[in-house]
Structure 1
Amino acid sequence: MLTFPIVAQIVWTSIATSSYFVLFALAFALVLKVNRIFNFAQAAIMIAAFYAAYSTVSLTGGPGWLGFLAALVAAIGMALLLEVTGFRLLRRQRAETMFVFIFTLIISEAVAYLAMLVFGTWPTTIFPSLFWPVTLYGDIAVSAWDIPAVGATIAAAAALFAFLRLARTGQFMVAVADNPDLAELYGIGKDRVYLVTMLVAALLIGLGMFLYGTRAQVQPTTAIDLLLFAVTATIMGGIGNLWGAALMAFMLGFVQNASVLFIPSEWQGFLLYVFLFVAIIFLPNGIRWPRRKRLARQVLAGDLSTTDATGT
């Protein structure tokens, strides 16, 4: 029988566990918006981030903060490698979009297979135990993981918003996303912007995988499922709309976790494919949100010098 405390507990838990979904969706949507890549190689970055943290904490006994730094470093390193030795070369060769997409699939599968060879297929976690201390607020149990995870996600989203709105490089990213050729005509170096975008997305991925790996078990193929969730949120939120993707990731995560009220828990994973089917068939253009391009026009119309824009 459902009671208010039970419903309230599930609602809070759903909110907390949606945090990493939001981070993964923001990362995927950002690269798609600016670099115009359906970057399924994001799964490879996720795998690298998790196993770097896992190796640092579980295998070598390092502290949690060092594992978090290891996740960020590994994510940045993998993103840098992909951009410099992969995407940049494909752009110079004017590779078709389909070949770039196939490249990202191959990379994600190759890294997953390599992780299986090195770490095995058994599910693992960053910390030896997934049980966190719990504090009761009325009838709602809030774990020591919940509030830091929600707070970190809000802080990361706010930092991304501020970076895109206020930082010069962030404004260049908006301009390139709006019209890359016109941005380059104004002296904005596209390659540098694409690289920065990959690195910013990597930071979001590193944070998200550390949060996920401290709450749930992970194996090399887990990253693919998490990536599909981000893809679904990006499509439903409207391709090119970061905050629409973040909102849809939160809503989908909330629905998936709260579905335990209505369906057995073993069916929760199946909901991901239901969401993806609905997104592709019924919402290929996403939900229509108000769109604003004023910032991009301001950046391109501003007094930009070629020296400042290219960073030389």
Structure 2
Amino acid sequence: MLTFDTIAQVLWTSLATSSYLVLFAVAFALVLKVNQIFNFAQAAVMTIAFYSAHAVVSMAGQPGVLGFLAALGSAMLAAAILEIFGFRSLRRRRASQMFVFIFTLIVSELVAYLAMLIFGTWPTTIFPSLFWPVSLVGNVAVSAWDVPALGAMLGSLALLFVFLRYSQPGRFMIAVADNPDLAELYGIEKNRIYLYAMLIAGLLIGVGMFLYGSRAQVQATTSIELMLFAIAATIIGGIGNVWGAALTAIVLGVVQNGSVLFIPSEWQGFLLYVFLFLAIVFFPNGVKLPERKRGLARKVASVDLGEGAAAAKPATAGEG
């Protein structure tokens, strides 16, 4: 029998665990928005970030702070290498989107197999134990992991919003996302902006994988499943809408985790593929809000490309 306390507990836990899912979805959506790439190689960056933290904390016995920095640093380095030696090279050769798609899949599978060779196939974690102290807030159990995880997610999104809205590189990213050729005509170097987008995505991935690896067991292929969730959230939220992907990730995370109230927990993984199927078949352009609500949502939660391009043009014209 469902009670208010049970529902409240499931909703709180679902909201907390959606923190890393949001970061993965935003990272995927940002690269798709700016670089115009379905970056399935994000799974490779996620794997590298986790095992870097695992090696520092669990294997070398270093503090969690160093593991966190290792996750961030390795994810950014992997993202930079992927952009400079992978995507940039493919752009120079004018490779087709299908070829880029195949390249990203190969990279993800290659890194997964290398991780299995180096670290084995058994599930592992960053910290030796996954048990966190729990406090009761009313009748809801709140673990010591929940609040920092939500804080890390909200803080990351806030910094990203401020960066895109108010910094010059952020405005340049919006201009490139809108029209890369026109942005380059105004003096914005596309390759540098593409690298910025990959580095920011690497940061988000590093934070997300540290959160996930400190709460759940990870295998070399786990990142692929997490990436599929990010793809579903990106498609349903609207391709090119970073904040729509974030909101959708929260909703899908709550639905997936809250499904334990109605179906056995072993079916939760199946729901991921249901999300993907529905996203591709029924929402290829995302969920469309009514016109009035969509206008309000755009003011509150999205960065207008036209404003970004307009802000970028005077700045570059002045520099020239």
User: Which of 282, 292, 305 lines up with 1:293 in the alignment?
Assistant: 305
SS of equivalent to 1:187: coil
Match of 2:29 in 1: 29
Matched residue, 1:215: 215
Residue 164 of structure 2 is matched in structure 1 by: 164
* CA shift digits 1:64-104 (9 cap, x unpaired): 00000000011011011101111111111111111011100
Once the two structures are superposed, residues 123-180 of structure 1 have per-residue CA deviations (whole angstroms, 9 ceiling, x without a partner) of 0000011000000011000000000000110000010000000010000000000000
Asked if the contact 2:29/2:234 (under 8 Å) is kept, the reply is yes
Confirm or deny: 8 A CA contact 2:236 2:287 kept in the other structure.
yes
In structure 1, the gaps of 5 or more residues are none
How far is the alpha carbon of 1:295 from its aligned partner? Answer: 1.7
Corresponding residue of 1:280: 280
CA distance in 2, matches of 1:78, 1:303: 31
The total of aligned residue pairs comes to 308
Q: Which amino acid aligns with 2:183?
A: A
Contact 1:186 1:306 in 2 (8 A): no
**Match of 2:301?**
none
Task: Give the structure 2 partner of residue 61 of structure 1.
Answer: 61
> What is the match of residue 236 of structure 2?
236
Contact 1:134 1:143 in 2 (8 A): yes
- Helix, strand or coil at the partner of 1:141: strand
- What is the alpha-carbon distance in structure 2 between the residues aligned to residue 306 and residue 119 of structure 1? 52
CA distance in 1 between partners of 2:103 and 2:44 (Å): 12
Contact 2:238 2:285 (C-alpha < 8 Å) held by counterparts: yes
Counterparts of 1:216 and 1:299 in 2: how far apart (Å)? 43
Letter in 2 for 1:81: I
Distance 1:104 1:16 in 2: 30
Task: Write the distance in 1 (CA, Å) between the matches of 2:142 and 2:23.
Answer: 21
CA distance in 2, matches of 1:23, 1:279: 19
Displacement of 1:303 in angstroms is: 4.1
1:90 counterpart residue number? 90
AA aligned opposite 1:266: E
Counterpart residue number, 1:302: 314
Q: Deviations over 1:20-71 (max 9, x none)?
A: 0000000000000000000000000000000000000000101000000000
Residue 118 of structure 1 and its aligned partner are, at CA, apart by 0.5
Q: Which residue of 2 aligns with 1:199?
A: 199
Code of the aligned partner of 2:268: Q
Q: CA deviation at 1:304?
A: 1.7
Q: Summarize deviations over 1:95-128 as a string: whole Å, max 9, x none.
A: 1111011100000000000000001110000001
Deviation at 1:287, TM superposition (A): 1.0
SS of equivalent to 1:40: coil
Residue segments in structure 2 that go unaligned for 5+ positions in a row = 299-303
Whole-Å separation in 2 of the counterparts to 1:54 and 1:306? 47
Cα distance between partner residues in 1 of 2:280 and 2:174: 26
**Equivalent residues of 1:11, 1:258 under 8 A apart:** yes
- State the one-letter code of the partner of 2:181: D
Separation (CA, whole Å) in 2 of partners of 1:101 and 1:133 = 43
Q: What is the match of residue 248 of structure 2?
A: 248
What is the TM-score with the length of structure 1 in the denominator?
0.97
Instruction: Indicate if the aligned counterparts of 2:175 and 2:305 stay in contact, CA closer than 8 A.
Output: no
SS at match of 2:270: helix
Give the distance between the partners of 2:156 and 2:311, measured in 1 at CA. Answer: 24
1:171-194 Cα offsets, whole Å, 9 max, x none, are: 000000000000000000000000
Query: 1:131 aligns to what SS in structure 2?
Result: coil
Partner Cα separation in structure 2 for residue 202 and residue 233 of structure 1: 18
Matches of 2:69 and 2:77, distance apart in 1: 12
1:115-194 equivalences under 5 Å are 115-194=115-194
Q: Secondary structure at the match of 2:316?
A: coil
SS of the residue corresponding to residue 284 of structure 2 reads: coil
Do the aligned partners of 2:178 and 2:306 also contact (CA within 8 Å) in 1? Answer: no
Residue 298 of structure 1 and its aligned partner are, at CA, apart by 1.7
CA distance in 2, matches of 1:208, 1:90: 28
- Say which SS state the counterpart of residue 122 (structure 1) adopts: coil
Deviation at 1:202, TM superposition (A): 0.2
SS at match of 2:142: strand
Detail structure 1 runs of 4+ shifted over 6 Å in the superposition: none
| Aligned equivalents of 1:53, 1:155: Cα separation in 2 | 21
Aligned-residue sequence identity (percent) comes to 67
Alignment partner, residue 271 of structure 2: 271
Give how far 1:199 is off: 0.1
User: Structure 1 residue 300: deviation in Å?
Assistant: 4.3
Partner of 1:112: 112
Give the corresponding residue for 1:79: 79
